[in-house]
Amino acid sequence: MARRLLDYGDEAVLLECADLGDALGLAPLVRAAVPEVGEVVPGARTLLLRLTAPLPAGARDLLLTLASTAPPPDAARTVTLPVVYDGDDLAEVGTLTGLGVDGVVAAHTGQTWTVGFCGFAPGFGYLVGEDERLRVPRRPTPRTRVPAGAVGLADAFSGVYPRAGPGGWQLLGRTSARLWDLDAEPPALLQPGTRVRFEAR
């Protein structure tokens, strides 16, 4: 899919990217390449670009052709989250993936995840991994209450619920890490581009 650039009100444009990898690779480059971009808000396959001034025609063309690159591995901050792997869906995920419980834990902890974008709730990061074996569907019926700190999988993403609430992800375990803290700067522990390691406890 070719990129598309859509006007998004008077002060923003929406850049539709080819895929998640294209969006992740472009996000850190856009602000440096186009001075009129004040803020970049990543999505699964989009970048919302909040503008400080109207985009000149040349900048529009540049956004459609700018080559995306992966940031150097050491450029991003790494957060390690301790996890007790005792989630309600761990056995089912083991069956769905064919990995068994121990294999799911090994695959989940054996890679570095990257926050692709944030959403759903303050502090919730959609974490992108490389192990396709962990791709599982959402639960057919969401739970009305998922505890804060629950670690789950849904489709191509892993995530940690920053607070208690409803949710439909497959739950693997729980962490004691605080993902959202209004007294911290920034309040969200996980930001787009942050690298995340899970550590079994």
Q: Considering only CA atoms, which of 52, 29, 50, 32 is closest in space to residue 40? A: 50
Q: pLDDT, tens digit, for every residue of 142-155?
A: 999 999 999 999 99
Query: What share of the chain has pLDDT > 90, as a percent?
Result: 75
The CATH number that applies at residue 153 is 2.40.100.10
The answer to whether residue 173 is domain-embedded is yes
CATH number at residue 56: 3.30.1360.40
- 87's tokens: 């989630």
**pLDDT > 90? residue 161:** yes
- Partners of 42 in the β-ladder: 47
| Mean pLDDT computed over every residue of the chain | 92
- Token reading at 96: 């769905």
- Cis ω for the linkage preceding 137 (within 30 of 0): no
**Structural domain span for residue 79:** 75-200
Contact present, 86 and 105 (Cβ < 8 Å): no
pLDDT of res. 26: 87
Check if the beta carbon of residue 159 is closer than 8 Å to that of residue 134: no
Residue 162 in domain: yes
Using alpha carbons only, what angle is made at residue 42 by residues 184 and 130, rounded to the nearest 5 degrees? 95
The mean pLDDT of 76-101, rounded to a whole number, is 97
Name the more confident of 75 and 32.
Answer: 32
Q: How far is CA 73 from CA 70, 95, 162, in A?
A: 8, 33, 26
Listed residues 43, 65, 87: the one ending a domain:
65
Residue 70 domain-assigned (yes or no):
no
